[in-house]
Amino acid sequence: MYLVKIEMQVMSVDDSKATKGKKLLDRLALLGCSLLVIAAGGSAFLLADKYHVSEAWVFGAWAAVFFFLIVGWGYRRKFRDPAFVSFFAAWTLVHALVYILVQAYLGFLWYVPIAVLELWVGYTIAIWQFGPPPDKGIG
């Protein structure tokens, strides 16, 4: 049923100048976002160098940010519960520490299976304590 709706929406789009203008705006927005990510990442490392902070902390902070954006998106309606907020903060801290420690001592090849295990344990506890995510995630 959903496939039919999506197909009908795709078929109803015409190739007029309005869609070409939107395509240009989309590409400009993509370029702007990529430049923003480059600036944020570069400035994080410049500030770390200026204040003599290890690069591992910067990598850990970015791991926590991406974890929050990707995993937290599915649970965004649960953030009204203080118990879930404290659990998610602890899970984010554990995820960042696992990322830093595995990368420092074992390398990236070990990070993938350990991250899968860590995320499985985290999701299992989250579902057990707070129920499944109310949304289907980003998609």
Contact 68, 92 (CB under 8 A): yes
Provide the Cα torsion 90, 33, 101, 116; round to 10°: 70
Is residue 47 in some structural domain?
Answer: yes
Residue 103: alpha-carbon gap to chain centroid = 19
- Residues 58 and 97 both lie in one domain: yes
- Residues 70 and 30 both lie in one domain: no
Number of domains observed in the structure of the chain: 2
pLDDT at 4: 46
> How many Cα atoms are found within 13 Å in the side-chain-facing hemisphere of 125?
11
- Residues 39 and 96 both lie in one domain: no
pLDDT at 8: 46
77-131 residue pLDDT tens: 899 999 999 999 999 999 999 999 999 999 889 999 999 999 999 999 999 999 8
Q: What is the CA radius of gyration of the chain?
A: 20
29-75 residue pLDDT tens: 999 999 999 999 899 999 999 999 988 889 889 989 999 999 998 88
Range of the domain at 32: 15-51
